[in-house]
Structure 1
Amino acid sequence: MTADPTDTGKRITIEPYDGPVVVKFHGAILASTDHALILKERGYDPVFYIPKDRVEMGFLQETDRHTTCPYKGEARYWSIAAEGEAADNAVWAYDTPKDGVAAIAGHVAFDRRFVTIDAG
């Protein structure tokens, strides 16, 4: 059975997160917001999407990496550099996501392997 990219309602849910979210990388605060979204996709851990205007973009460097998800669309990536440390392709965004997940436009997500996310 092939993926039906119009079937996001059964596979993906997006909700406002009720509480503060702070994203840190080796002690540097990369993002802080009370307006995060939480995306839950069947088969994956939940992912926080942070409004881009609440992210310290000075710590991020855009890379050439792009990936495509049949449900969300095309993602672009950034690497993190802060506190003398770096993590390649650890942040992503869907600038023009598919209709079923349009709420994540204007938001970025962080790979939890590289950052600490404090959600209250």
Structure 2
Amino acid sequence: MKAIWNNTVVAESNDTVVVENNHYFPADAIKREYFEDSIAHTSCPWKGRASYYSLRVNGELNKDAAWFYPEPKAAAEQIRGRVAFWKGVQIQP
């Protein structure tokens, strides 16, 4: 699977985990040069507290376009160390 934004592959892996129709990529599959830490956080009752990354590709910013759970709850342990995308990031085989 590939995560693509602004005509650029920002993550690629054959080992994604799908939860709630979102592909979670292994952290080592993301191309770090496009990722910036964000101060944003949200909370999910069964997954826990999410942290975010913004994407910067070809001079354009996609704020909080990727998220991950640093310490997922037990029910979501399968997404520990994984990153998912939204905000226009296309997921393609």
Higher relative contact order (CA 8 A, sep 6+): 2
Deviating beyond 6 angstroms after TM superposition, the runs of 4 or more aligned structure 1 residues are none
Q: Which residue of structure 2 aligns with residue 22 of structure 1?
A: 2
Decide whether the 8 Å contact of 1:91 with 1:110 is kept in 2: yes
Determine helix, strand or coil for the equivalent of 2:76: helix
Unaligned runs of 5+ in 1: 1-20, 41-45
1:30 touches 1:55 (CA, 8 Å); kept in 2? yes
Matches within 5 A, 1:1-120: 21-40=1-20, 46-111=21-86, 113-119=87-93
Structure in which a larger fraction of residues adopt strand? 2
SS of the aligned residue for 1:103 comes to helix
Instruction: Give the TM-score normalised by structure 1.
Output: 0.74
Give 1:84 deviation, angstroms: 2.3
- Give the structure with higher Rg (CA): 1
Structure 2 unmatched ranges of 5 or more: none
The normalised TM-score by structure 2 is 0.95
CA RMSD of aligned residues (A): 0.9
